[in-house]
Amino acid sequence: MSARRKTEKKVEAAQAKAEPASKSEGAITIPASLTVKQLADLMGVSAVEVIKKLMRQGIMASINQVIDYQTAATITPDFGYQALAEQGPTQAALLAQRRKRFVEDDTGAQKPRPAVVTIMGHVDHGKTKLLDAIRETNVAATEVGEITQHIGAYQVEVHGQKITFLDTPGHEAFTAMRARGAQVTDTAILVVAADDGVMPQTIEAIDHARAAGVPIVVAINKMDKPEANAQRVKQQLADLGVVCEEWGGDVVCVPVSAKKKEGISDLLENLLIVAEMEELKANPERRAIGTVIEAKLDKSKGPLATVLVQIGTLKMGDPLVIGDTWGKVKAMFNDRGKRLKKAEPATPVEVLGLGSVPQAGDTFRVTATEREARTLAQRGQEEKRLATLRPISPPRLTELSSQIREGQVKELNIILKTDVQGSIEPIKTSLERLSIDEVKVNILHSGSGSITEGDVLLALASRGIILGFNTRPEPGAKQMAEAEGIDIRLYEVIYNLVDDVERAMKGMLEPTYVEVVEGHAEVRAIFAASRRAKVVGVYVSDGKVARGAGARIIRHGEVVFESTVSSLRRFKEDAKEVATGFECGVGIEGYNDFEIGDIIELYRRERQ
Ligand code: GDP
């Protein structure tokens, strides 16, 4: 049976299983959270009856209280309904989203290409072990004398078809690449240990994959362990909207043991099926374009970069440009150290011959001539310089607010972190309720705990903002957010958080400013700079004086005038800043009535 036919059969089977549930009178689909009233409406009963049933379970809830799926599911049978978890975005919807975003200039005759797969999941659930197991079970394809090389990616062959695996597991690496603009992964394997179940990073991985529009295949690992419980994992995943095929969903879930190398071929076959549904194609007959996966400086070989060819074919001798560096392919090796003459779409190869070490996530492009590569690299250097001067960051909430007002923004991407698990659902529900026809509130990820670098990366890659409720960013995350210009807003009152987002949605949120005092200067002399304007000779007693800074004239402890520093001179030369302990000449915009002994307070406004 062809893989496509298998897919169709699987889809049919899944539908057949799903239908009785959704059609039968006794089943209702319940979202991850909802209010008591919404649940009552779904079942067509009064809210009072629902409240009574909840009370009998020891849960005191009011009509507008938000309850989670699990709680709702415990009382629905009392009303004659079987609860079904609402599915997250379907795999097909994810694909459509990805296609929309992944616009390539790949025209011409397209041919099927292998899938590029990333492994994600919670720490210690067996990502590395699974990557090794997949690699080792395919030793048959290895020729004598070839030795495994870790170049950042490898390829295996299943029934004559190739699959490419990225060797750096984890959603942080995946999203870091995305934040640099690289769309590399076609499918994500979500590893969940059958003994441990769904953990915080499992949820993060799901959200990161969804935000990127990448379909998931679940590998339920460690099935060899006596405590393994695949059913529990499937239930936990279903609660998150990742519903396995056997349960009427569209996510493939494969039990495996990376340790015993069991279930690996089943997993690989399923990856082929998912890849086939994705209809991955590229034109091999053109100059290559792709992404740097890993790069380093080798003492004897010079700069080495592992690149993934995404479209076209990379050949020996090709001139290429990567950001601000360029070179010529002097030699290419695959993950088994074998020298290659050419590399087709979805092939990872280690390339020798670059002028300097590029960055992972950078795009490479083959050019017609070496001269073109060199010119583009010079332009790349200039762009890099400009980029450091004016970093392109996602907009802050206040900027989004004015963009919403102007109708430029259709989606508000939010990452929500709270102190405790219990705060997530009420805030999430309140925020999602703010969605209007023109703008949708999109909670990309929510979780309890501090704000991590992973959260900042997700915000960067998805042009989102981070909202923290009774939590703070980790030091690394704070630094990263400041460097990348990511908006982290912290709240201690739910109302304020929801109110800010609501005002942003209505295009009403204006930036708020805080004032930072920069220094003080004492007026020691007064001069006439022209017939009308006066300047003063001052001594900077603390901090600094800067041109353009806010200035307040204080006389006998009272503010007599407020304006800005219009001119600043030192030894007849214009100056930008003058520091503590120095004297200088200062002009204040619109003010001439100075007196000796006046204090000038200097300040600047900072946007919050
Ligand atoms: P990672 O952090 O997700 O990359 O996890 P590792 O691959 O490093 O595995 C974490 C631990 O789980 C290691 O001690 C592995 O030997 C063990 N492990 C991984 N897969 C299996 C498995 O299928 N069965 C058992 N029993 N242990 C496993």
- Which pLDDT value is given to residue 385? 60
Of 134-148, 421-435, 476-490, least confident by mean pLDDT is: 134-148
Band of pLDDT at residue 400, cut at 50, 70 and 90: confident
354 vs 34: CA distance, rounded Å: 56
**Burial call 477-499: b when 16+ CB within 10 Å, e when fewer:** bbebbeebebbbbebeeeeebbe
Rounded to the nearest whole angstrom, what is the distance from the C-alpha of residue 222 to the centroid of ligand 1? 7
pLDDT of residue 148: 73
The better pLDDT of the pair 314, 99 is held by 314
Q: What percent of the chain stands above pLDDT 70?
A: 87
- One-character DSSP codes across 411-463: EEEEEEEESSHHHHHHHHHHHHTT--SS-EEEEEEEEES-B-HHHHHHHHHHT
Q: Report the DSSP pairing between strands 558-570 and 573-574.
A: antiparallel
24 pLDDT more than 50: no
Could you give the CA distance from residue 249 to residue 148 in angstroms, rounded to a whole number?
38
Residue nearest to atom 10 of ligand 1 (CA): 124
**Atom 2 of ligand 1 has which residue's CA nearest to it?**
124
Please tell me which residue, 507 or 216, carries the higher pLDDT value.
Answer: 216
Residue 139 has a pLDDT of 52
| Residue 608: predicted pLDDT | 58
- Residue 521, CA distances (Å) to 223, 273, 569, 583, 585 in order: 73, 73, 14, 9, 11
Give the per-residue pLDDT at 580.
Answer: 92
> 248: burial class by Cβ within 10 Å (0-12, 13-18, 19+)?
buried
pLDDT class of 246 with cuts at 50, 70, 90:
confident
Out of 127, 129, 189, 261, mutate this one to test ligand 1's pocket (max ligand atoms within 8 Å of CB): namely 129
Predicted local distance difference test score (pLDDT) of residue 224:
97
Structure tokens at 272: 């082929």
Residue 202, pLDDT above cutoff 90? yes
Closest ligand 1 atom to Cα of 260: 23
Checking if the pLDDT of 9 tops 50, the result is no
* pTM (predicted TM-score): 0.69
**Range of lowest pLDDT (135-139, 388-392, 578-582):** 388-392
Q: What is the pLDDT of residues 335-371, one digit of tens each?
A: 888 899 999 999 999 999 999 999 888 889 999 999 9
The Cα 440–Cα 207 span in angstroms is 17
Q: Is the pLDDT of residue 102 over 70?
A: no
Q: Whose CA is nearest to atom 11 of ligand 1?
A: 124
* Pocket of ligand 1, beta carbon within 6 A: 121, 123-129, 169, 221-222, 224-225, 257-259
Instruction: Quote the pLDDT of residue 231.
Output: 95
The residue-averaged pLDDT of 532-544 equals 90
Length of the chain: 608
Give pairs for 387-392: CB < 8 Å, separation 24+. 391/483, 391/484, 391/485
Whether 126 shows a pLDDT value over 60: the answer reads yes
Predicted confidence band of residue 140 (pLDDT cuts 50, 70, 90): very low
SS3 label, residue 151: coil
Separation of CA 126 and ligand 1 centre (Å): 4
CA 493 to chain centre: 26
pLDDT tier for residue 91 given thresholds of 50, 70 and 90: low
Residue 105 pLDDT exceeds 60: no
Higher per-residue pLDDT: 406 or 491: 491
Q: Ligand 1 center to residue 197 CA distance, Å?
A: 14
User: What's the pLDDT score for residue 17?
Assistant: 39
Let me know: does 536 contact 594? Beta carbons within 8 Å.
yes
Supply the mean pLDDT for the chain: 85
Q: Any idea which of 174-183, 407-416, 458-467 has the lowest mean pLDDT?
A: 174-183
Per-residue model confidence (pLDDT) at position 63: 82
| Minimum-distance ligand 1 atom for the alpha carbon of 225 | 26
Residue 202 CA to ligand 1 center (angstroms) comes to 15
Distance, CA of 326 to chain centre: 29
Mean pLDDT of the region 394-409: 76
- pLDDT value of position 508: 64
Mean pLDDT value of segment 434-454: 88
Ligand 1 centroid to residue 120 C-alpha, Å: 13
SS (H, E, C) 365-425: EECCCHHHHHHHHHHHHHHHHHHHHCCCCCCCHHHHHHHHHCCCCCEEEEEEEECCHHHHH
Q: How many Cα atoms sit within 13 Å of 604 on the Cβ side?
A: 12
- Alpha carbon of 262 to ligand 1 centroid (Å): 14
Q: Mean per-residue pLDDT for 183-198?
A: 94
Confidence bin at 512 (pLDDT 50/70/90)? low
Overall average pLDDT of the 111-123 stretch: 94
Contacts of 254 (CB under 8 A, 6+ apart): 217, 218, 219, 220, 263, 266, 267, 270
